[in-house]
A and B are shown apart, each in its own frame.
Chain A
């Protein structure tokens, strides 16, 4: 209301510029994924494929074991998400509700782990998992992903726990419900939406992860999608653009769908964490 029309127009123009900058690479990926080889070789590429085709997708599945990789990715991401949430929820509860040394140490770890240098972590992890016989195995990768997604899971879940009124729990305790009972039948149902959002976020994180998968998975039949995607790019950096774009597009879809589901909650969760601490 107090903003002038000129300023408003400027704001819309700026917003549009931002959206173009953020969206155009993805649109270009889609464009290439549907272009036949002839158009890809053309010196004057167009935004809209003149002769759209699905050949690139077919070829992508022929060239690399995409289905197998997708399954590996799905197993790793689902396993990581479920386990991470199961073990993070009780700990987040303690972090949110108590002021003891334990809660402090946990919060400290969450902060420090954000600054963890992967180099320093990956070599010993590699050696530890090797001794356990868990190199080149999806379960081994799941273990790594669980720990890797814990800091953010704890952060978000602690925020959600703080949003549950303490009085509800106290009322249950007065009524004689034990701590575990209170947790399971009073707190958990109220936390459910937050737990689901956190699990989905852990899913995306694991689905997208590359570095650990690159180091820990050695054979193509065990590798996850991001690692397999890099195989489309040859040793000299030459790639068959069509299938590469098609496979990359497919690999992104699950993340985008899940992200669309939780987009609101993620921003809300970060907000809660920021406000309450």
Chain B
């Protein structure tokens, strides 16, 4: 490999005017600019614009100019019980998905880290849900939950566990049903991240502990977990955010129904913005969601990181 590049290189020895030392920063800017401009125009810019919008009465399709209205949107939001109900559902959903997702993914990652036969196949199969469009995941589970043609009710009937029910339309079952789908959909990513973390754990230490007669649980507690902790923390924090911002799955499964029982904040804000055209109000919702989630996440991370000596920056 190296010899090929060497032979194809021109035999010019003296560094030219474009030598790397000349203007290091110019070179860097030149390399960064093609990505930086889209990021500024389509990511950082819109984000700031969105925050500004929250302080206006912007609406879709209106002819009068948009006006500054100060914190009026936020005051309205404070008394919007529907929004707070949606926010509560969002929290239940995010925690309800993230915790089982983590535990199940940890179990799977530990298994996949073992020296089992067919491990390659299991690894490939285990991450299939990751490759699927979220819309298809939603459709798939609609078919599973379907009252008559669904496999879930059929299995329950076969096992003699009653006639089954309409899972996604039942007031009590809708949220748990979509949470199961959320867990299923996010497991592969979490598993892969944890598996990557597991492969970083010092094997020698593991073997030494085994020689010393430490049981599996003890080895996990004293050797695996300390090494895995930073990765586990990072992926859990990310999962909480991702799940809270989730949209497509529930949009396809229930579209927020029945009676708003699964109306996640993203669905709520989407309807406010693009069905009712209340851009300013929806932007204010976005701001409140970000602010509250950041605070909750900070509390979670500070709580977890306390007592940990070092290594929290592994993400």
Q: Which residues of B contact A128 (CB under 8 A)?
A: 41-42, 45-46, 49
A113 within 8 A of B: yes
Q: Which residues of A contact B104 (CB under 8 A)?
A: 18
**What sequence of 0s and 1s flags, for each residue 85-128 of chain B, a beta carbon within 8 Å of any chain A beta carbon?**
00000000000000000001001100110101000001111111
Across the two chains, which residue of chain A brings its CB closest to B152? Answer: A28
A71 within 8 A of B: no
The segment out of B26-34, B70-78, B301-309 that lies at the interface is B26-34
Pick the most buried of B42, B197, B241: most chain A CB atoms within 10 A of its CB: B42
A259 with B130: CB separation less than 8 A: yes
C-alpha spacing A28/B149, complex, angstroms: 10
Known A87-B35, A233-B252; contact A266-B192, beta-carbon cutoff 8 A: yes
Partner of A150 from the list B38, B45, B266 (CB cut-off 8 Å) is: B38
Across the two chains, which residue of chain B brings its CB closest to A86? Answer: B34
A208 with B132: CB separation less than 8 A: yes
A241 with B133: CB separation less than 8 A: no
Known A87-B35, A123-B50, A185-B9; contact A179-B27, beta-carbon cutoff 8 A: yes
B283 within 8 A of A: yes
Q: Which residues of B contact A183 (CB under 8 A)?
A: 31
B286 with A29: CB separation less than 8 A: no
A23 within 8 A of B: yes
C-alpha spacing A237/B25, complex, angstroms: 57
**What sequence of 0s and 1s flags, for each residue 211-250 of chain A, a beta carbon within 8 Å of any chain B beta carbon?**
1001100000000011101101100010101001100100
C-alpha spacing A2/B136, complex, angstroms: 43
B55 within 8 A of A: no
Partner of A143 from the list B38, B47, B252 (CB cut-off 8 Å) is: B38
Q: How large is the interface on A (under 10, 10 to 19, 20 to 34, 35 or more residues)?
A: 35 or more
Across the two chains, which residue of chain B brings its CB closest to A258? Answer: B131
Q: Which residues of A contact B143 (CB under 8 A)?
A: 25, 28-29, 32, 241, 244-245
Q: Which residues of B contact A143 (CB under 8 A)?
A: 38, 42
B156 within 8 A of A: no
A248 with B136: CB separation less than 8 A: yes
A255 within 8 A of B: yes
A208 with B133: CB separation less than 8 A: yes
C-alpha spacing A116/B97, complex, angstroms: 19
A43 with B50: CB separation less than 8 A: no
C-alpha spacing A15/B285, complex, angstroms: 42
Q: Which residues of A contact B146 (CB under 8 A)?
A: 241
A271 within 8 A of B: yes
Q: Which residues of B contact A82 (CB under 8 A)?
A: none
Partner of A226 from the list B44, B129, B135 (CB cut-off 8 Å) is: B135
Known A22-B129, A28-B143, A274-B200; contact A45-B149, beta-carbon cutoff 8 A: yes
C-alpha spacing A115/B16, complex, angstroms: 45
B50 with A121: CB separation less than 8 A: yes
**What sequence of 0s and 1s flags, for each residue 151-169 of chain B, a beta carbon within 8 Å of any chain A beta carbon?**
1001001000000000011
Known A19-B126, A22-B187; contact A275-B200, beta-carbon cutoff 8 A: yes
A125 within 8 A of B: yes
Q: Which residues of A contact B197 (CB under 8 A)?
A: 274
Across the two chains, which residue of chain A brings its CB closest to B252? Answer: A230
Known A185-B5, A210-B134, A255-B132; contact A144-B42, beta-carbon cutoff 8 A: yes
The 21 sampled A-B contact pairs (Cβ below 8 Å) are A7-B216, A22-B184, A29-B136, A29-B139, A41-B148, A91-B34, A113-B43, A119-B285, A123-B273, A128-B49, A146-B42, A186-B5, A209-B133, A210-B248, A211-B248, A229-B136, A237-B254, A239-B142, A252-B136, A256-B128, A275-B196
Interface residues of A, Cβ cutoff 8 Å to B? 2-3, 7-8, 11-12, 14-15, 18-19, 21-26, 28-29, 32, 40-45, 47, 86-88, 90-91, 93-94, 98, 100, 102, 106, 109, 111, 113-125, 127-128, 143-144, 146-147, 150, 154, 168, 172-173, 175-180, 182-183, 185-186, 189-190, 204, 207-211, 214-215, 225-227, 229-230, 232-233, 237, 239, 241, 244-245, 248, 251-252, 255-256, 258-260, 263, 266-267, 270-271, 274-275, 277
| Further contacts, 8 of them, CB under 8 A, given A177-B10, A232-B139 | A44-B154, A94-B32, A102-B32, A124-B46, A124-B50, A245-B143, A270-B196, A274-B196
Return the 4 tightest CB-CB contacts between A and B, nearest first. Answer: A120-B286, A259-B131, A90-B31, A124-B46
